[in-house]
Amino acid sequence: MNKNREFHPVANIFPTMNPDEFNDLVSDIEKNGLLESIWLDKDGVIIDGRNRYSACLKAGIEPTFRTWEGQGSLIEFVVSLNLKRRHLTASQKACVAVEVEEHLAIEAKERQKEAGKLYGENHPKEELVAKLPQPLGRSRDTAAKMVGVSGRYVSDVKRIKRQSAEIFDSVASGEITIQKANQILLKQDDPTVSNSKFNESNENIDWAKWSWNPVTGCRNGCLYCYGRSIATHYPETFPKGFDYDVHRDRFNAPRNTKIPEAKIQEEGIRNVFVCSMADLFGDWVEIEVIREILDICSNTPQWNYIFLTKNPKRLLEFEFPANSAVGTTVDVKSRVATAVEIMPQVKAPIKFISCEPLLEDLELDDLSWIDWIIIGSQTDGARIAVHPEWAWIKRLQELADSQNIPTYWKPNLYRKFKNYPKFPAA
Ligand code: SF4
């Protein structure tokens, strides 16, 4: 008997049997022989039947094998076989979906490599597109559908896995449900454990009285980024510099922060700028992290949350809570078309554009999709580096006035009139 067969990584997606179940299987094989053959891939690697194979070894019975020669997805085949045979709870299935998603990502990368090899060999475009990897959101939903649970359930388990590998293992093995895991984590997440609070903001973002950075770091690479300078200057606070980082210890800040009694009537005192030190909707931020932050916002209605991105297409993946305002930066003409196309489709109660820094004369026209406009200069620390031309501001303000759109002029926006009357020529 060949005792050295390898297990394909896909075979490890499903949890192994517990010792009692395994001993029952050994006894059954001793009594009745192996009733269901073990599946191999074309290289002789086990893709399904780890437990049966090990039980055969233990029982001293020669296993029988079948080879999978399907053209479709190996992952889908293995998942389908196991779901028919195993009795998994919904929580366990969601754990399986998380593993499936990871394997789908690997499969997608392999397809991408193949597509890369084909590229330039005059293959039809459809063939190349079919081989490209799926976007993150879609692979999560594909995995969820494959195992028969909701995408939301899968996101829950991914978060649990990120927070505690140990608790994830307990869910995967069927010891506890997702709900129980959430209860355990909620206790660990007690605000008394992490006492982080919002930061009071300064002039740079005076339209929000607070800033909250559950995520920091950004790969957009804007030349005028003040976040990057801050992160570089304070390595102790930003040990990863301006690289993407998730700060789970700050997730409690909305619950820990209280508005000082004396300021409770102040206009805008409930406004929180989410991620002044990042672009939360950058393509590199995991969808689950964003969803978790949006959930926190929706569960703390005492605050108004303001989101701003330079990647507006990503906003379409979410439904924003009732206490949020969502905007995109339109600093140069080339961002206008994308904003006009995307922002009307964003599901948010308040939508805005931030023209800060206003670097060009923007060609905007119909503003019916906007609820608010911020206008500002380019600064370098406290210094105004580039002030927009007055004509640009005037045009934007007049357009906003004509359509009743409120504007917010940043303190870094000013004009000192120093014109002279025309004196008669000497
Ligand atoms: S999007 Fe914002 S955080 Fe990111 S580099 Fe640009 S200015 Fe900095």
Among 225, 230, 285, the mutation site with the greatest number of ligand 1 atoms within 8 A of its Cβ is 225
Question: CA-CA distances (angstroms) from residue 112 to 97, 130, 141, 146, 278?
Answer: 22, 9, 20, 22, 29
Q: What are the tokens at 272?
A: 């929180």
* Structure confidence at residue 125 (pLDDT): 57
Q: Is 217 in the pocket of ligand 1 (CB under 6 A)?
A: no
Q: What is the DSSP string of 299-332?
A: T-TTSEEEEEES-GGGGGG-B--TTEEEEEE--S
Distance 242 CA to ligand 1 centre (A): 10
Residue ranges per structural domain of the chain: 9-85, 90-188, 199-409
- Has this prediction a pTM greater than 0.95? no
Q: What percent of the chain has pLDDT over 90?
A: 50
- The SS3 assignment for 138 reads helix
* Structure confidence at residue 364 (pLDDT): 95
* Structure confidence at residue 135 (pLDDT): 46
Q: Is 215 in the pocket of ligand 1 (CB under 6 A)?
A: no
Q: What gap in Å lies between CA 407 and CA 412, rounded to an integer?
A: 14
Q: Is 112 in the pocket of ligand 1 (CB under 6 A)?
A: no
Query: What does pLDDT average to in each consecutive run of 10 residues of the chain (426 residues)?
Result: 79 84 93 93 90 93 91 85 85 91 80 64 57 56 89 85 87 88 74 79 83 95 90 85 90 93 89 96 93 93 97 96 96 97 96 96 95 90 79 95 94 75 79
Which fold would CATH assign to domain 9-85? 3.90.1530
Q: Is 312 in the pocket of ligand 1 (CB under 6 A)?
A: no
Q: Is 222 in the pocket of ligand 1 (CB under 6 A)?
A: yes
Q: What gap in Å lies between CA 315 and CA 73, rounded to an integer?
A: 31
* Structure confidence at residue 129 (pLDDT): 53
* Structure confidence at residue 385 (pLDDT): 77
Among 242, 279, 280, 328, the mutation site with the greatest number of ligand 1 atoms within 8 A of its Cβ is 279
Distance 392 CA to ligand 1 centre (A): 23
Q: Is 230 in the pocket of ligand 1 (CB under 6 A)?
A: no
Q: Is 220 in the pocket of ligand 1 (CB under 6 A)?
A: yes
Q: Does domain 199-409 match CATH 1.10.3470?
A: no
* Structure confidence at residue 353 (pLDDT): 97
pLDDT digits (tens, 9 = 90+) for 14-35: 887 888 889 999 999 999 999 9
**Which ligand 1 atom lies nearest to the CA of residue 329?**
1
Phi-psi region of 372 (alpha: psi -120 to 50; beta: other; left: phi over 0): beta
Closest residue (by CA) to atom 3 of ligand 1?
278
Distance 296 CA to ligand 1 centre (A): 23
Q: Is 209 in the pocket of ligand 1 (CB under 6 A)?
A: no
* Structure confidence at residue 309 (pLDDT): 98
Closest residue (by CA) to atom 7 of ligand 1?
225
Torsion angle in degrees (nearest 10) through CA of 213, 217, 220, 222: 80
**Which ligand 1 atom lies nearest to the CA of residue 218?**
4
* Structure confidence at residue 270 (pLDDT): 94
Distance 380 CA to ligand 1 centre (A): 14
Q: Is 335 in the pocket of ligand 1 (CB under 6 A)?
A: no
Q: Is 118 in the pocket of ligand 1 (CB under 6 A)?
A: no
Q: What gap in Å lies between CA 183 and CA 299, rounded to an integer?
A: 16
* Structure confidence at residue 71 (pLDDT): 76
Q: Is 310 in the pocket of ligand 1 (CB under 6 A)?
A: yes
Phi-psi region of 217 (alpha: psi -120 to 50; beta: other; left: phi over 0): left
